[in-house]
Amino acid sequence: MKKKIRPLLCCALITTALTAGFPASHVLATPTDTQADAAVNQEDGTAENTPTQPALPECYNWPIQSNETEGWPQGPQVQAETAIVMEADSGCILYAKGIDEKREPASITKIMTALVALEHSRMDEQVTFSHNAVFSIEQGSTHIGIKEGEVLTMEQCLYGVLLASANEVSNGVAEHVGGSIEGFVEMMNEKAREIGCKNTHFSNANGLHNEEHYTTAYDMALITQAALKNPTFRSIMSTDHFIIPTTNITDEERWLNNHHKMLRETKFHYEGCIGGKTGYTTDAGNTLVTVADRNDMELICVTLKTNANAVYTDTALLLDYGFNNFQKIALCQKKQQISVRLLPFDRQFYSEHASGTIGEYQNDAYAVIPSDIQIENLTKQVSIKKNLEETEYYFNSKLITRRLLSLSSVLTSQSPENAVNLLTDTLTDHTDGNIITKFKALPSWKYPVLGILGFILIFYIILLILRIKRRKKRRRKRKK
């Protein structure tokens, strides 16, 4: 009996020894579609099993801020705690649910990681992975099996970050670009402030759980909007799969599949999806950033704190809402020149011969408005500061977009043909004819000019009063 037990015991010991010999961070697991459908993302931690038809969470009935705007298309209820749909060109917010509430982003953090890396490195730079980069990630979190001392190009690293959501690769990128993970994180936070994020703070480059690591749906939409302006980011984000060739340590190729199921041919595929980023931790729940394009309108959808497959059904509902209820109208293109006309009052200050001039737009401006209204239904507020005219377009009280028109040529023009115009153009500006609006559109010199005119008027009135008094005195003397 003892002879039979000994071989079995030896086999068990050998198996245990072999298993223990491989670090957890070097195990590359590729979940099947069935497993992925059950828990959508297992990229940052271990997902919990969910029932086939889970009960709707309490947050399903939380208020939707965008529905409170009078006349605005009513958006759908979703299971995400917070969500946003933003039009990428104009920044117009089409849907808003708790968009300024702080939540953990999980791996959608890597959008900022990639953006900062793209702005501070070349794609052919060699990234060498340290012991800390490889072994400091949580056991069981997503990785592609990078080994200490292994070398990848920055391009290969960014595919690992955005497609495979590899946490150790994010660490390696951070150390390479920032000198340390802490230095890179400060660069991330600085970039967030530059973009305009008000409620975001990063504490790592991969999105693993940390109480000081948070963002909002609105801030993540801003970060994605900024990243989309980088053509390399766009290319990587929209790639279905990528192969990392053999390296100085690993003799096998690494196949990386894009985790975003709305981009790939799965049951969650969404027509027009061009990419995005997935995320999951036990604390953050499922998070998702998705970019989709239909009919020349590009939408950014962010959902935070969602459960299981609802992260995709929510996103599909929100994107359908955006594409089905809104239209995109071009207001102007950067460097586009337009003919403008002067008001009579304006001519007195600049040129009696000038009947019009050319203004130049400083930005591409688009208005995304409900499909059943026209651009004429919007109200405008115009202001001029330092020879730059800013026009804000509103739907009721909701800001839609801003348009900038350069007036700098006004002060440098040498001929009547290039004379200054500081008021209305021949197209759509100030069409309401409101005197107050036209007055506000005058440049900053309007106040000293009005002051001088007021002083002259008061002086004239005083002289007139003195003159009348003198006449009265003369009449009294004559009567005597």
Cα gap 124→158, rounded to integer Å: 11
End-to-end CA, the chain = 153
Please give the helix or strand (H or E) that residue 457 lies within, else none.
Answer: helix 446-479
Task: Give the rounded distance of the alpha carbon of 478 from its chain centre.
Answer: 84
* Catalytic-labelled residue, pool 97, 110, 277, 305: 110
134 phi and psi angles, rounded to 5 deg: -80, -40
Q: 148 CB contacts (<8 Å, ≥6 apart)?
A: 129, 130, 131, 134, 135
* Cα–Cα distance measured from residue 456 to residue 462, given in angstroms and rounded to the nearest whole number: 10
**Three-state SS for 377?**
helix
Catalytic one of 25, 90, 141, 165: 165
Q: What does the alpha-carbon distance between residue 35 and residue 38 come to, in Å, rounded to a whole number?
A: 5
Quickly list H helices, 360-445: 409-412, 435-441
Instruction: Outline where 228-283 has alpha helix (H).
Output: 231-237
Q: Residue 221: count other Cβ atoms within 10 Å of its Cβ.
A: 26
∠ at Cα 344 (338, 348), nearest 5°?
105
133: number of Cβ within 10 Å: 26
Q: What share of the chain is helix, strand, coil (3-state, %, to 5)?
A: 40, 20, 40
Q: Can 110 be counted among the known catalytic residues?
A: yes
Selected catalytic residue, list 25, 66, 90, 107? 107
Cα pseudo-dihedral 261, 262, 263, 265, rounded to 10: 70
Q: Which string of DSSP letters, residue by residue, matches 300-329?
A: EEEEEEE-TTHHHHHHHHHHHHHHHHEEEE
Distances (CA, A) of 59 to 50, 117, 280, 380: 17, 36, 18, 36
- Which residue in 162, 113, 117, 169 sits closest to 141, CA to CA? 169
DSSP letter (8 states) at residue 357: E
Task: Quote the longest CA-to-CA distance of the chain.
Answer: 153
Q: Is the dihedral of CA 424, 428, 431, 435 positive or negative?
A: negative
CB 191 within 8 A of CB 117: no
Supply the DSSP string of 65-125, one letter for each residue.
Answer: GGGGSTTPPPPPP-SSSEEEEEETTT--EEEEESTTS-B--GGGGHHHHHHHHHHSS-TT-
- Which residues are catalytic, by number? 107, 110, 165
